[in-house]
Homo-oligomer: A and B are copies of this chain.
Amino acid sequence: MARRIFHALQTLEDARGKIELACPIKPLGVDNVPLTEALDRALAKDIAAPVDVPAFDRSQMDGFAVRAADTFGSEENNPKRLKIIGRIEAGEKPQVTVLPQSAVEIATGAPLPKGADAVVIVEQTEEVDGILHVFKAVPPGANIMPAGSDISSGEVVLRSGAKLSFREIGVLASLGIEKVPVYMRPRVAIISTGNELAPPGGSLEYGRVYDTNTYMLFAALQELGCAPVIVGVVGDKRDELLRRVLDALSSSDLVLTSGSTSAGFGDMIYQIFEEIDPRGLLVHGLAVKPGKPTLAALLKGKLVFGLPGYPASAITIFNQLVKPVLRKMLGQRDTLPEAAIKARMAFRVHLDKGRRELFPIHLIEKSPGEYVAYPILKGSGAVTSFSMADGFIDAPETLQFLDEGEVVTVQLFSDRIKPANLVLIGSHCAGVDTLLSILGEEDVSLRAKVVNVGSMMGLESVSKGEADVAGIHLLDESGEYNLPFIEKMKLKNKVHLIRGYDREQGFVSRRDEPQVNSVEDIVDRKLTFINRNPGSGTRILIDTLIKRYSKKSQTDFESIKARITNYNVETKTHSAIASAVKYGRADAGVATRTYAERYGLAFSLITNEKYDFAVPKDRMEKPTVQRFVSALKSKEFKERLEREAPGFSVTEETGKILF
């Protein structure tokens, strides 16, 4: 395997500087577009008003155009009397001149006739047989908008670089401008490389993954205002890749590749860049995590970026390195980073020493304006590393850890991101999905965030006020569910417990194999197990079963665990358990009947457990929580749960506040 060593890793700042130095970035040119296509484009020239607005002295009100001096001395019970000699509608050119002692009826927006210097509003007049009675004197200029007083011709109204919103487009229309000069959209080619990639839509051969980067980058480029061009997936075939990069260079303004940049792939993109122009390389390896295998080059006068293959890494480096370049090419005034917000760390995280780290965060609004930052620690290979993230923390290389409760700055991925208004942290349950589905249909303003971390962490999150609701099913040694845990954790003064529903938990196994009914079966038949994460209600159930078996068989608890193959292999949801058993990665696990049936597995009932909801006392009045509880009690929920989730049952107590 050809291995290459990265050149000295560069900092992001050095990389940006080197790119800027090699290639001063400027807008590409000017398009003249109609107003209907101008939204969000950047203005390419200063716009001076070609006309006055209004173009004539305009009446501001419905009333009568007069000579102001003729109204002097008017009083409520001693009106001045003027002869009405005509009428002017909006859009009409006045044909009449206001002579002394006369008045012309005038509509809002109509041009002032010659001779007049003021408008008396209709409410301060009365018309009697063609004679106008004026009850109040007006000064010259009253109720008139003079020509050019809004915008004067020649005045610079919009400056080059302004982003065109409905405001600016309205101004352009009011000046009679129908086509507007805007900076051209850069065409950006997107190439995904790797033999393992398959385009979405087709089926997936074993060992392959769907091409995520092409579509994620396409959307990010669209959001920015560029014109993305999909080249597609290219395998790690050197000749074809070279040809595609050369094609992209000739037909677009900037090229993005992703994948095939790391040593393990023979650093193929580096070799191709070098072949095109050995002196074009600007960046080869970044001192940042994620994003070490990043390349940038100036080839044939155009910038080319080799992004890392993992989607989370690719989008991070796109944001850090490529976006600022594209914003300049777009001629946007606004090259500021996205908004940042302050938050407290939910838990302590350790950092890689000596490497700057940009790690993904999801945010939870604890109370208005008070945020908690949850680091996402799945690594950049995971889709959930970007799909759950609202933004990231930029941790310098000198930092060793970020402590629980420490205040950090979270850089948002987009200014449009808004925090969830109903946060559920706790146990994974199909019933919760049904509930949220009902709630979402009722309430379009719901923005729910669901974090499946298990019952114990859910209870802890609720006690800290980070979650609005925690779904829990915690079996106590007494055989009672949930309440004993809340008592033990001394949370009775902090949380309410709301009765949820019953659900059947059991052993799942493949239908074509002998059914698994107990821990004994797993141990004796040497089956491969798939476990749940510590702190989940199901894990507690599993360990309770092991303890019971330990008592019964008079064997040490730890040694039984050691005899279960893959006791240490864990996953976090019922669906993941069912999936692992279905596809043979494991022979047995514990999950709800719902998922056994959804995956076509055999199910052996262990217990009908109580799945309840813990809510912080101060959150009970929160509108989204109240709607959640109403949905729980609804007839629709009962019906849908019974239809969609076999093994679940609503009881008479469902929705009741237990304390």
Contact = CB atoms under 8 A, between A and B. Distances in A.
Given A336-B418, A571-B146, A215 B170 contact: yes
Interface stretch (A245-253, A273-281, A325-333, A633-641): A325-333
Interface stretch (A71-79, A377-385, A610-618, A648-656): A377-385
A207 B111 contact: yes
Contacts of A163: 416
Contacts of A383: 53, 150-151, 170-171, 174
Given A170-B383, A178-B200, A149 B215 contact: no
A62 B263 contact: yes
A418 B338 CA distance: 11
A211 interface: yes
Centre residue among A57, A334, A576, A578 by max chain B CB count within 10 A: A576
A129 interface: no
Interface in A567-599: 568-569, 571-573, 575-576, 578-580, 583, 585, 595, 598-599
Contacts of A93: 205-207
A36 B217 CA distance: 10
Contact of A212 (B157, B170, B265, B336): B170
Nearest to A599: B154
Contacts of A150: 378, 381-384
A335 B436 CA distance: 18
B580 A174 contact: no
A263 to B, nearest CB: 7
Nearest to A91: B196
Interface in A146-199: 146-157, 159-161, 163-179, 194-199
Interface stretch (A6-14, A218-226, A347-355, A504-512): A218-226
A654 B401 CA distance: 53
B90 A418 contact: no
Interface stretch (A284-292, A444-452, A552-560): A444-452
Nearest to A576: B152
A229 to B, nearest CB: 11
21 contacts: A38-B219, A39-B219, A46-B433, A60-B379, A92-B207, A107-B265, A109-B194, A109-B309, A150-B384, A157-B387, A164-B219, A166-B220, A167-B386, A169-B215, A169-B216, A169-B218, A170-B315, A170-B387, A327-B444, A336-B418, A415-B415
A145 B219 CA distance: 27
B109 A209 contact: yes
Nearest to A414: B165
A262 B62 contact: yes
Given A56-B206, A333-B447, A200 B381 contact: no
Interface string A40-67: 1000001000011111111010100000
Nearest to A106: B264
Nearest to A330: B444
A437 interface: yes
A124 interface: no
A331 to B, nearest CB: 7
A3 to B, nearest CB: 9
Contacts of A374: none
Contact of A445 (B164, B335, B379, B384): B335
Contact of A200 (B35, B105, B386): B35
A162 B384 CA distance: 16
Given A444-B335, A445-B336, A579 B152 contact: yes
A513 interface: no
A566 interface: yes
A122 to B, nearest CB: 8
A219 B41 CA distance: 12
A interface, how many residues as a size bin? 35 or more
A140 to B, nearest CB: 6
Centre residue among A264, A381, A436, A580 by max chain B CB count within 10 A: A264
A331 B444 contact: yes
Centre residue among A152, A212, A213, A569 by max chain B CB count within 10 A: A152
A155 B573 contact: yes
Contact of A166 (B94, B111, B264, B315): B315
A268 interface: no
Contacts of A17: none
B105 A381 contact: no
B168 A207 contact: no
Contacts of A235: 91
Contacts of A309: 109
A436 B159 contact: yes
A1 interface: yes
A96 interface: no
B148 A576 contact: yes
A210 B571 contact: no
B218 A36 contact: yes
Contacts of A169: 215-216, 218-219
A514 interface: no
B170 A386 contact: yes
A105 B3 CA distance: 14
Nearest to A53: B383
Contacts of A164: 219
Contacts of A305: none
Given A204-B51, A209-B54, A334-B447, A90 B262 contact: no
A608 interface: no
